[in-house]
Amino acid sequence: MTSTPAVLTEQLTRYVSSGKSVSGIWYSATPEKGTNERGSRMASFQRLMPAEAPAPRRAYPSDLTDAQGDLLEPLLRERESSGPGRPATVELREVVNALLYIKQTGCPWRYLPHDFPPRSTVHYYFAQWTADGTLEALVQQLREQSRGRAGRAAQPTAGVIDSQTVKSVEATQAVGWDGGK
C-alpha cells in the first residue's frame, strides 16, 4: 500500500491525538517501480504501525508495593532541569526497586539484573539522592508508614544504646589490616 507524505502526516496526527505514544511508530521508505513527472524514482511508504509494548517484568520480593509507590511518588518526581541535556526517560520507581534489590540481596552493582535500569543509571540516582537527602526522605516515608501499620507513633520516642558497644568504642585502635574493628 502506497501513501503520500500528506497521508502519513495525517495518520500520525490522528495517532498522536488519540493519546498514544509515538515512540513505537515506524515507517519505511522503499523505492517504487514508478516515476514522478520529472522522471525520477519515487519512494513509497508503508502504513504507520505501532510497535509492540514490552511485557511488564515480573516483580521481585523486594519491589515497592503499589501503596508504597503512591506514597513515594511525590518525592520521586523529577526536578526541573536548570541546564542543557537530555530529559530523563527512566522510571524512578524502577530505580528505587533496583536499589531495594541491591539492598536485599547484597549483590554488587555489576550483577544487577537486566530487567532493571542500567547500573550506571541506578548508581547515578543513588549518588544524587544520597547527596541531596532524597534517599533519606524515601526511607523516612517508608519507616513512618511501617510504624503506622504496626500501631506505633510515626517517630520513635525512645532509643537503646548497648553499654558494651559504648565501652568498646574507646578501646579500639587502628592497628593491623583490619584496624579499628
- Are 132 and 55 within 8 A, CB to CB? no
Provide the pLDDT for residue 27.
46
- Are 115 and 57 within 8 A, CB to CB? yes
Are 44 and 73 found together in one domain?
no
CA 88 to chain centre: 9
pLDDT in tens, the chain (181 residues): 555 667 666 766 776 666 555 555 444 444 445 555 666 665 665 666 677 777 788 999 999 999 888 988 888 876 666 668 787 788 899 999 999 999 999 999 999 999 999 999 999 999 999 999 989 988 898 899 889 988 998 888 888 877 776 665 555 566 556 555 5
The continuous run of DSSP H or E covering 42 comes out as strand 41-45
In a domain, 101, yes or no: yes
pTM above 0.95, yes or no: no
Nearest-angstrom CA–CA distance, 180 and 71: 40
Domain interval for residue 70: 66-77+88-149
- Are 25 and 51 within 8 A, CB to CB? yes
In a domain, 46, yes or no: yes
In a domain, 172, yes or no: no
